[in-house]
Amino acid sequence: MASIRRLLSAESCEDECEALRQLLQSGEFNDNSPLDLGSLCCESRILECDRDEDGRNSSQSLLDDLLLYVIVRNFGATAVSAGGNAILGIKEQVLERWWEFDAQHLTEVHSLVQNLHELLLKSEWKAAEICTLGCVTKRVQDPRARQKFLVFAFQIVRFSSKFKVLLLETQAGQPGELDAKFFDEAVHLMLLGVTDLWSAIRKDCAKMAAVIAFEFPSKPHIDQFIDSLIGVAIGSRSVSADKTQVTAWTEREGALLTLLILISSIKTETISEAQTTKDAAKVSQVKDDIMGRLSLHPLPPVKYFLGHHTLMQLPLCLVQTLKPAIYQCLRHDQLGVRQLASQCLVKYAGLCEKSTRLLIFQEVISKLNRIHKNDKIEVDPNNSELLDAHEAEGLLDVLACLAPHLPSGFLLKHWKLIFPTLEKYVMHIASSVRQKSSSVVLALAKLSQYCHNNDVSVSDNSLPSDQDSLRLMVEMLLSLSKTRNDEDSFCWQQKEGRLLSIDVLVNVLGESLIRRGNDISTMLLWHPNCTKPQQRQSSSLEYLQSFLWAHEQAQAATWVLDDEKAESSAITAEGDDGKSEKTSLVEAVSAWIDTNRGKSNLPDSRLMFWQQVLSGCIDQTREAFESSQFELRRISRQLLPGLLRLTIWTDQLQFISSTYLENNPMKTAWGWTCMKSILLHLRYVEESVTAFNGNNKLCISQKLISYWKIAWNSAIATQTIALNASTDSEVIVAAMEMRIMVFLCFGTQTNSPHQTIHFLDCALASIHEHLSVDMQIEDLRAWTESTINNNGTLDRQFSIILVPLLHAVTSTLYYLAEQREQVDASIINESQQGKNILTWNRRWLCLERITLSWLSTQDMFRWITLSKSEAQSHLLQSLTLLICFPNTHLSLADEQQEFDRIMNCLNARFASSQENKILIKELTYPKLLNAYLQIWLRSIRNGYCTGKNVISVLRLYSQHQQQQQHSIAVTITKKAEVSFTCPAAESWDDWDEDNEDEVQQVSPVHNSTDSDNFLHPDASFCETLNNLDDSHIRSLSESLRSVSDLAREQGIPTQHFAQMQHQIDICLQSRVSVLSPTKFHIHMQCANANIATITESTTSQVSISCSHTFNLPGGNSTLAVTLSVAMDLVCSACISSDSRRSSSPLLSSRIVCSGSQSLKSSLLTVVRHL
């Protein structure tokens, strides 16, 4: 003991190391003779008492002091941690002395303390020493140190427990002879860890405690630990002396978490009939009114494995006391406690026989209805006496988790009790309770889906469980779609809860279509890698069909599976490859209705069934849609798209369209929103069908044609009904979006293009009406004068919706503009009927002003769902297409004015100046550059090109060059900083590699002036030029040369001007194919030789590397010049990688034969210009 006292009182690291070495080398502490912990417990402490409350937190023995030393040295408790109270009952000076580290002895101290830690684990710990561990744990206030110390303490308990089991086996003793006091203290220590104030400690200790408990030598010790956990969970036992509310719920949560892990760790094994005996075959029975026909099937006995213990029945403490304790915890006001209690009960039910699970379900239903044991089981739907929110939420959570473990027949038999119970709680004032009630419906629906998916076909003799599950789904659909006569007296909470339940059913039915594994699921699951067409092709229907704008809105266009569901669906489809095609839950329900038509008050056919269900659901949705209550409006808009998609796949689109769309006044946004949802889903399916080229999709294609006809008739009827303009902002936005979608869907398909253009005109007029005054078209202000204050809100909503669709709208109008001869005739006929149809120039002007207005806006709230750079990319792409229109139908002066407006807007938005430094995104720059070039070319073609246009393009090019140079400079600086931090070589020899030759080859020196011109060529500019015609590039080159002086006056750097001109010249030269001709002439001026023409004659075409002989007329010498295509220079100059232009004007030359030096120089110049 002297060495331990010397260790604890050491004044320096050197003394500490010496004491540790002496302790470990002495006979009192080594592997053969572990430390006598019992003696340490009896030895008096060495640390002084802190004098707080009779020394309650002070050390009671020398073992306490030794453990505190280990906590400081090995587990990181410091004098400043935990607010200066890292360990209670110990002076700060002692902590500081123990925490001090001498760099010279740091490694040695750490190694010696680790040895001390390991040998403490190997020592024998009895009840008194385990009690000391608990006392020390309570004194540690630093949570990190306490977490590490508890892991250490739990390891001691585990090793000691195993040692006692081994000792019992060696001495052939009985389990009852074990040290009961030891396990009492062990249980107390584990409870101390699992009920800690910190959640991370509770989680770690709960996992370790479950492992240790199942390693206890006897079953009574396991029961003792479980009983203690249950007592803490219900609050009858407290572990900590702190009785505050926080400590109370954390203790309960920790106890329930440990119970959950314990129950989840219990393994089961069903005994076969050959192994059963009369005693093992005894199973509990439930009354026939609970079990029904299920009581006719005896259940085989089960083995339960609790670690190495094997039981024929669950521990008595679980069977007798767990359920009452869990029901009590379900009433707790803390959400975490209720959730863990619910999970415990569900896990316990999973271990029990089927009859017990049914009994638990009945008990939960009874508690929700406040029915006691002797009460008559009746549920009065008008009885509004509900449980408190936290208790109801906990019980409903149990129902939702327990439903997948119950047979469908039982749920179907008691549906008249279950549904009214759920109906009562969907009107609960707490939204969490309403959501839990709908989650029960979701669990029941998924049970039906699971039972159906595990059967082969509905037409076969299905299992009773599958038939019952389909009947259960039918009952749920009929019950939820049925409207009550007194529905006006319902509170809005009940209406919202009903819609929540309908929503989960619609989603389950929709997901079953995706999981079907046939053509329909293929169409609904397909998603493209890119939703944007790669290259514009005018006058091409294929190009318009390549717009996948519906897939860009997949969340609103179809049912979307999360990653886990999508992976599960893919695995199922792969496993069912080659098997018979599965039916969806929608088709299974329809087939079940046809099989059981007219029975038990069921509809006579699937047609009548779906009409009854869908019309009831749509009626409730519409009422909520037009309500003034925010929650009802929100859930109705969430439910409506899926509900309308379901009408398509149940062949009820014609019925719904004629009932709810064609004959109803469009006073609200209801009709417009319905049409938008229908069009969006049909377009989504059509895009998928087109992507598969109609292969094996004939049935779907035929249905799609009939659906499009219905949708077109509904759109025409909707447009005809909406005679008067509405002042409701939601109606205006919904009408605009629906009209745009009609134009995109039918713009190139109908026989009367003027009708679809009429939809576009109405949408454009509505958007134009809410633009800022300076962007409005003057002659349109009079007849589109708005009755709503133009505060920018509607314009913001318009832009959020239309920007992703704007390029598709512009491309469709471009296609129709190229067919304008036929379109103009129809417009004239339509105009004669008094229709307000925009003229072609007004359409172009509207789209141009809308695009410019949204490009110019600085509204920070506009680009939230869509990023600002992505929105600018969409808008610039649409603007470029508008600039390329074959005919704007404007006068030359008006067209020049509009293009000046476009140029001014782009300059104001993107051109950088000394006052306003603008950084152009890499995503935006190519689109912006293309727009500038198209304006330049159009101005050249129409004869109003000015130096201003050329300078604008030059300024943009120069601005991007400066950004590139700045980015490269920043990169170089960062690399230099990194290299600067590396250690420098002490001598030149340190830079040489091993076995490296001292003689180094000198690299050739190039002319830096020549290379600087090609340092940073603009790849985007080069790519844009490659997409232009030769005549366009020549026009650009000539126009650029004419403004060289003006460019210098505008402050554009000369090197940027020269580089832009150089890239244009390179692009022009690359258009001259050097592969096909066998002769070409190069005119040149030579200073010392009269060479007028060089004629090439060769026997082979130019390839990657070849030789040519040039005959020089006018002279007597012939020079053989070898020309090698320098592909590395081509890459460094960022010349287009287009395979059609594999040759490069950048050539390197070498003079083969002798000649005058001046002639050599001249030829080098010629080759360089090539």
Distance (Å, whole) CA 1026 – CA 1019: 11
For residue 969, what pLDDT is reported?
Answer: 79
The answer to whether residue 965 scores a pLDDT higher than 50 is yes
Cβ atoms of 209 and 190 closer than 8 Å: yes
Q: Work out the pLDDT band at 1041, boundaries 50, 70, 90.
A: confident
Position 1135 scores a pLDDT of: 34
Kindly state the average pLDDT of the residues 683-709: 79
Q: Tokens 């415990």 identify what position?
A: 344
Asked whether the predicted pLDDT for residue 653 surpasses 90, the reply is yes
User: Is the pLDDT reported for residue 93 higher than 80?
Assistant: no
**pLDDT at position 246, please?**
62
Mean pLDDT comparison of 270-284, 733-747, 1075-1089, 1139-1153, highest-scoring range: 733-747
Give me the mean pLDDT over the 326-348 stretch: 91
Q: For residue range 382-391, list pLDDT tens digits in order.
A: 555 788 888 8
Please tell me the predicted confidence (pLDDT) of residue 453.
66
What is the mean predicted confidence (pLDDT) over 186-206?
Answer: 93
Quickly state the pLDDT bin for 1169 (edges 50, 70, 90): very low
**Higher pLDDT, residue 1159 or 596:** 596
The pLDDT score that the predictor gives to residue 458 is 37
How many angstroms separate the CA atoms of 476 and 465, rounded? 16
Average pLDDT over residues 1148-1168: 41
Instruction: Assess contact for 142 and 81: CB atoms under 8 A.
Output: yes
High-pLDDT (> 70) share of the chain, %: 70
845: exposed, middle or buried (Cβ count in 10 Å: 0-12, 13-18, 19+): buried
For the chain, helix, strand, coil in percent to 5 are: 65, 5, 35
Residue 150 is predicted with a pLDDT of 93
Structure confidence by residue, pLDDT tens digits, 1002-1038: 444 444 344 344 446 788 888 888 888 888 888 888 8
Percent of the chain residues topping a pLDDT of 90: 24
Pick from 210-214, 543-547, 861-865 the range whose average pLDDT is largest. Answer: 210-214
Residue with the bigger pLDDT between 555 and 1112: it is 555
Across the range 820-845, mean pLDDT stands at 61
- Read off φ and ψ for residue 267, nearest 5 degrees: -100, 150
What mean pLDDT is predicted for residues 466-479?
90
CA-wise closest residue to 438 among 396, 376, 378:
396
Per-residue pLDDT at 999 exceeds 60: no
> What average pLDDT does this structure show over 120-149?
88
The residue among 884 and 720 whose pLDDT is bigger is 884
Per-residue pLDDT, averaged over 912-925, amounts to: 70
pLDDT at 972: 78
The Cα–Cα gap between 360 and 401 comes to 12
The model's pTM: 0.76
Neighbours of 779 (CB within 10 A): 9
pLDDT value for 1082? 34
pLDDT for the residue 677: 95
pLDDT of residue 279: 45
Q: In whole angstroms, what is the distance from residue 666 CA to residue 650 CA?
A: 26
pLDDT at 22: 75
In angstroms, what CA-CA distances link 307 with 180, 212, 262, 435?
20, 9, 10, 38
Region of poorest pLDDT, from 462-471, 596-605, 650-659, 990-999: 990-999
Q: Which pLDDT value is given to residue 622?
A: 94
Whether 746 shows a pLDDT value over 80: the answer reads: yes
Burial (CB < 10 A; 0-12, 13-18, 19+), residue 553, is middle
Amino acid at position 25, single letter: Q
Average pLDDT score over the chain: 76
pLDDT for the residue 1127: 32
* pLDDT for residue 620: 93
Average pLDDT over residues 444-468: 61
What is the reported pLDDT for 546? 77
| Residue 457 burial by Cβ neighbours in a 10 Å radius (0-12, 13-18, 19+) | middle
For the four alpha carbons of 386, 391, 392 and 395, in that order, the dihedral sign comes to negative
Higher pLDDT, 872 or 465: 872
Res 966 pLDDT > 70: yes
Task: Provide the pLDDT for residue 323.
Answer: 92
- Average pLDDT score over residue span 765-788: 76
| pLDDT (average), residues 236-249 | 71
**Averaged pLDDT for residues 540-553:** 81
The whole-number pLDDT of residue 825 equals 47
pLDDT value of residue 476 = 92
Query: What residue has token string 């630093």?
Result: 142
Q: Which residues of 1059-1078 are buried (b: 16+ CB within 10 A; e: fewer)?
A: bbbebbebbbebeeebeeee
Asked whether the predicted pLDDT for residue 921 surpasses 60, the reply is yes
pLDDT digits (tens, 9 = 90+) for 568-595: 555 455 545 444 457 889 999 999 999 8
- In the chain, what is the straight-line distance between the N-terminal and C-terminal CA atoms, in Å? 95
Q: How confident is the model at residue 1077 (pLDDT cuts 50, 70, 90)?
A: very low
**Phi, psi angle pair for 516, to nearest 5°:** -65, -35
How much is the average pLDDT of 924-949? Answer: 85
Say whether 45 sits in a helix, a strand or coil: coil
Distance of alpha carbon 988 from alpha carbon 1000, whole angstroms: 13
Residue 992: per-residue pLDDT: 45
Contact criterion met (CB below 8 Å) for 277 and 270: no
pLDDT attached to residue 58: 66
- 1168's tokens: 């360089």
Stretch 150-162: mean pLDDT: 90
Judge whether residue 115 has pLDDT over 70: yes
What does the pLDDT read at residue 955? 86
Q: Which two tokens stand for residue 1006?
A: 């190039």
* Least confident stretch, 367-376, 455-464, 715-724: 455-464
Give the lowest-confidence range in 22-26, 56-60, 402-406, 643-647. 56-60
Could you tell me the CA-to-CA distances from 322 to 344, 740, 1011, 1024 in Å, in that order?
Answer: 9, 61, 83, 74
Q: Residue 377: what pLDDT?
A: 54
Among the ranges given (374-378, 397-401, 465-469, 550-554), the one the predictor scored with the smallest mean pLDDT:
374-378
Predicted pLDDT at 171:
60
Does the pLDDT at position 690 exceed 50?
yes
Provide the pLDDT confidence category of residue 697 given band limits of 50, 70 and 90: low
The amino acid present at 279, given as its one-letter code, is: D
Q: What pLDDT was estimated at residue 522?
A: 78
Least confident range of 44-53, 353-362, 393-402: 44-53
Q: Looking at residue 207, what is its pLDDT? A: 94
**614 versus 294: which is more confidently predicted?**
614
**Count H helices, E strands: the chain?**
50, 8
